[in-house]
Amino acid sequence: MKAKELANGILGGENDAALLRVYPDLPSARARCAGVLSRYAEAFSDEEAILLSAPGRTEVGGNHTDHNRGAVLAAAVELDMLAAAAPAENGEVDLFSEGFGRIRISLNDLCARRDEEGSSAALIRGVAAGMAARGYRTGGFRAYVVSDVLRGSGLSSSAAFEILLCCIESHLYNNGRVPPAEAAVIGRFAENEYFKKPCGLMDQMACATGGFIKIDFRDPLAPAVTPIPARTEGYAMCIMDTHGNHEGLNEEYASLPREMRAVARALGGEVLRDVAEDALYANAVRVRAACGDRAFLRAAHFFRENARVEAQAQALLSGDTEGFLALVRESGRSSFMYLQNVFLAGDPAREPVAAALLMSERLLAGRGASRVHGGGFAGTIQAWVPLGLLPRYRAGMDAVFGPGSCAVPGIRPAGMARVL
């Protein structure tokens, strides 16, 4: 069906059942999906197009455990990247992203390019290369993309974009056969090898899979994904954007897996999941001398946080909300004290995550919980706020960090999806 015809059908309610499989707010979904298709027709041509979506994600437990093959709790959120797309000839990609402009590249050459590092073009090329290496068909496409996963918000806009690209190639050229777990691996490959940003697999897996899940990365090629009922009645999950600048922080992020793996090697393993926690303390003197105190502390965080993920999952499964929140608070303390991804080394004037944790603690006054969220250093915090306190909490955080800084995204059941 042509793009404008499909848009008119959406506005007329013809596709409501399909929209409700992905979006809970039907009036908003109609307007947004029809708008993307109409703008696609204006930017390219009024041809047949399909509509695809990939959500952002939130990390609930397991702060920096995935890259050492630990376990995490994560969830897809009701904020996504949405694209109208159609195939293009000769391997040409023409992608227009609202707020970022137009990208034109050829997929006839899938080699990584140094001049594309850190760019959307690198991710487009990297995803195609990853898919081709796994035996999937790839091809050019035209796409118009919109997003309400704000860049730098800690909800993983980069992973959502990678998974959206996998979804486009999957449905245009592979009959939708690329499974979520494989799309996640392809997305991480593109980010690591083409975009040149070190990351684990949690972000991509949560965006691709959807829902509230526990992911165990003991086998990184086949992570074990377990759905977890999100039983947190009486509390809202808030994501607080500190508006910190992520520029120049690659070394800060890279130091986390590097130092943990250095400790693992000192103890005879490749990653920390390969070694026993007791070995860390039995060899504390040698580890501190070989790797340094910060690496020693970060390794201790890994073991404690990995165990906490299982405890959090059990608390949620049993309906023990207060037990779950106590573990969230423990996670936050461990990230602050041992993982040390809250402060920026050598820049005491720029500590927005620590400032947000302080304000959150003050506003919660002993209720709920808050913790550093995701990568840390200059990003976001997550808070679980009693519903009766939510208006006051949001107003208080927005007063310090700016209007709209405190978001309350719901959990989205659907992961990567063809909407229509």
3-state secondary structure of 103: strand
Report the topology of domain 3-229: Ribosomal Protein S5; domain 2 (3.30.230)
Instruction: Name the residue type at position 309.
Output: V
Provide the 8-state DSSP code for 140.
E
Q: Quick one: pLDDT at residue 246? A: 63
Looking at residue 157, its pLDDT comes to 82
Residue 150 pLDDT:
62
Report how far residue 113's alpha carbon sits from residue 120's, in angstroms, rounded to the nearest whole number: 12
Please provide the DSSP assignment of 51-97 as one string. Answer: EEEEEEEEEEE-TT-GGGT-EEEEEEEEEEEEEEEEEEGGGEEEEEE
CB 138 within 8 A of CB 93: no
Q: Which residues of 364-391 are buried (b: 16+ CB within 10 A; e: fewer)?
A: beeebbbbbbbbbbbbbbbbbbeeebbe
Mean pLDDT of 292-307: 98
* Residues 233-245: tens digit of each pLDDT: 899 999 998 887 6
Mean pLDDT calculated for residue range 15-23: 94
User: What is the distance between the alpha carbons of residues 107 and 127, in angstroms, rounded to a whole number?
Assistant: 10
The amino acid present at 356, given as its one-letter code, is: A
Domain residue limits, the chain? 3-229
pLDDT at 248 over 70: no
Let me know: does 56 contact 80? Beta carbons within 8 Å. yes
Token duo for residue 332: 């936050």
pLDDT above 80 for 400: yes
For residues 326-340, average pLDDT? 96
CB-side neighbour CA atoms (13 Å) of 49: 31
Say how far apart CA 70 and CA 275 lie, in whole Å.
Answer: 12
Give this prediction's pTM.
0.85
C-alpha neighbours within 13 Å on the C-beta side of residue 42: 7
